[in-house]
Amino acid sequence: MAVDGLGHQPFLLNISRMTPSKNVESLLRKMALWPERLLVLAGPAAGRNAELQAHCASLGLRNVRILTMVNDAQKAWLDEHCQVFLFPSLTEGFGLPPIEALYFGKPVLLTNRTCLPEVGGSAAHYWRKFNPAGMRRTTEAAIAGFGSQEAARPKAWAARYNWAHSTQAYIETYLHMLAGPA
């Protein structure tokens, strides 16, 4: 299911709750230096969306679209058709959106904080700082170094995460705990 208005235009993607901890403001500052590129921010409708729209207006950004109430089919379309997935989160409990983007064989950029280096491993690229010019250079390098043959690596990494494997690992952990010390 295509997302209206995006067509075949290349775009950068962030899917998150867009709370302050998700650090989407760093992406907005980067996009001010990259007016020829389109950034799509997708997530649930929240009171913060108006604040982000106002921030875009204050920066004069015409290259940012904020999509709310994106259903699963639209989210999958966005992941499949984005050029790169961006996730500058400062605090993260796990990081499911980056794994979903990796599943689609996309280059993924993450922060090098909390669990994200473990989640993305060697299949992702990382920001260490949030200065707009540096973020742009890192993003450009990730896009430039990614071709169709590179898509297999993120897909293979994402395949490590699946519900059946996770469920089995939890069951084994609990059975081991119930059995007590050996």
pLDDT tens across 89-126, in order? 999 888 899 999 999 999 999 999 999 999 999 999 99
Q: Where do runs of H (alpha helix) occur along 2-160?
A: 24-32, 48-59, 72-81, 96-103, 116-120, 132-144, 152-159
Question: Is residue 143 over pLDDT 60?
Answer: yes
Rounded-to-integer distance, Cα 135 and Cα 126, Å: 9
Domain residues of the chain, as ranges?
Answer: 12-179
pLDDT tens across 144-154, in order? 988 877 889 99
Contact 82, 12 (CB under 8 A): yes
0.85 cut: is pTM over it?
Answer: yes
pLDDT tens across 9-36, in order? 899 999 999 999 999 999 999 999 999 9
- 12-179 is classed CATH 3.40.50.2000: yes
